[in-house]
Chain A
Amino acid sequence: MSKVTMKLDDLSCPSCMAKIEGAMTATKGVSSAKVLFNASKVKVEFDEKLVAADELVRKVEKLGYFVQNSKVNNN
Chain B
Amino acid sequence: MIFQKWLYKNANRLMALSGLMIVLGYVGKYGFKNDWAWNISMLLASILGGVPIAIHAYQALRYKQISIDLLVTIAVLGAIFIGEYEESAIVTFLFTFGSYLEKRTLEKTRSSIKTLTQMAPATALFADGKEVTIDEVNVGNQLLVRTGSQVPVDGVIYEGTGLVNEASITGEAREIRKSAGDKVFAGSFLANGSIYVIAEKIGEDTIFGKIIELVEQAQDMKSSAEKFIDRFAKFYTPAVLLLAIVVWLWSQNLALAITILVLGCPGALVIGAPVSNVAGIGNGAKNGVLIKGGEVIHTFSRVDTLLFDKTGTLTKGTTQVVEVKTFGEVSENLLTKIATVEGQSNHPLAHAIVKFIARDERVEMGQTDVIKGQGIIADEILIGNEKLLTEREILLTESQKSLLKVMQEKGSSTVLVAQAGQLKIIYGIADEIRPGVKEALTQLRRKGMQKTIMLTGDNEASAKAVASQLGIDEVHANLLPEDKAKIVEKLKKLGHKLAFVGDGINDSPSIALADIGIAMGSGTDVAIETSDIVLMKSSFDELVDAYTLAKSTVRNMTQNIALAIAVVIFLLTGLILGGTGLVPSFVNMGTGMFVHEASILVVILNGMRLISYKAKS
Interface residues in chain A, defined as those with a beta carbon under 8 Å from any beta carbon in chain B:
10, 12-15, 18-19, 22-23, 36-39, 41, 61-66, 71
A64 to B117, CA, bound (A): 25
A52 to B284, CA, bound (A): 38
A45 to B192, CA, bound (A): 42
Is B99 among interface residues, defined by CB-CB distance under 8 A? yes
Which B residues touch A66, using CB under 8 A? Answer: 5, 8
How many pairs, one residue from A and one from B, have CB atoms within 8 Å of each other in the complex?
A: 65
Q: Which of B5, B56, B63, B278 contacts A13 (CB 8 A)?
A: B56
15 pairs of residues in contact across A and B, judged by CB atoms under 8 Å: A10-B103, A10-B107, A12-B102, A14-B270, A14-B274, A15-B65, A15-B69, A18-B60, A19-B60, A36-B219, A37-B274, A38-B220, A39-B110, A64-B1, A71-B135
Flag if A41 contacts B216 (CB, 8 Å).
yes
A65 to B4, CA, bound (A): 9
Q: Which residues of chain B (48-100) have a CB below 8 Å from chain A? A: 55-56, 59-60, 63, 65, 67-69, 99
Q: Which of A12, A15, A23, A62 contacts B106 (CB 8 A)?
A: A12
Are A36 and B216 also in contact (CB < 8 A) when A14-B270, A66-B8 are? yes
Closest to B60 in A: A15
Are A36 and B4 also in contact (CB < 8 A) when A15-B67, A19-B60 are? no
Interface SS of B by simple majority? helix
Are A62 and B216 also in contact (CB < 8 A) when A12-B103, A18-B65 are? no
Flag if A38 contacts B216 (CB, 8 Å).
yes
Total contacting residues, chain B, CB less than 8 A? 31
A65 to B271, CA, bound (A): 21
Flag if B99 contacts A12 (CB, 8 Å).
yes
Flag if A64 contacts B4 (CB, 8 Å).
yes
A4 to B8, CA, bound (A): 24
Is B113 among interface residues, defined by CB-CB distance under 8 A? yes
Interface code B277-314, partner A: CB below 8 Å = 1, 0 otherwise? 01000000000000000000000000000000000000
Report B271 CB to chain A, min CB distance, Å: 8
Interface residues in chain B, defined as those with a beta carbon under 8 Å from any beta carbon in chain A:
1, 4-5, 7-8, 55-56, 59-60, 63, 65, 67-69, 99, 102-103, 106-107, 110, 113, 117, 135, 216-217, 219-220, 270-271, 274, 278
A63 to B56, CA, bound (A): 10
Report B29 CB to chain A, min CB distance, Å: 33
Report B122 CB to chain A, min CB distance, Å: 12
Which A residues touch B1, using CB under 8 A? Answer: 61-62, 64
Flag if A18 contacts B63 (CB, 8 Å).
yes
Q: Which of A19, A62, A64, A71 contacts B8 (CB 8 A)?
A: A64
A38 to B285, CA, bound (A): 14
Which A residues touch B103, using CB under 8 A? Answer: 10, 12
Q: Which 8 A-B pairs have the closest CB atoms?
A: A22-B63, A39-B216, A12-B103, A38-B219, A64-B4, A15-B67, A15-B60, A62-B1
A62 to B62, CA, bound (A): 14
Flag if B217 contacts A19 (CB, 8 Å).
no
Which B residues touch A18, using CB under 8 A? Answer: 60, 63, 65
Report B218 CB to chain A, min CB distance, Å: 9
A12 to B5, CA, bound (A): 16
Report A42 CB to chain B, min CB distance, Å: 12
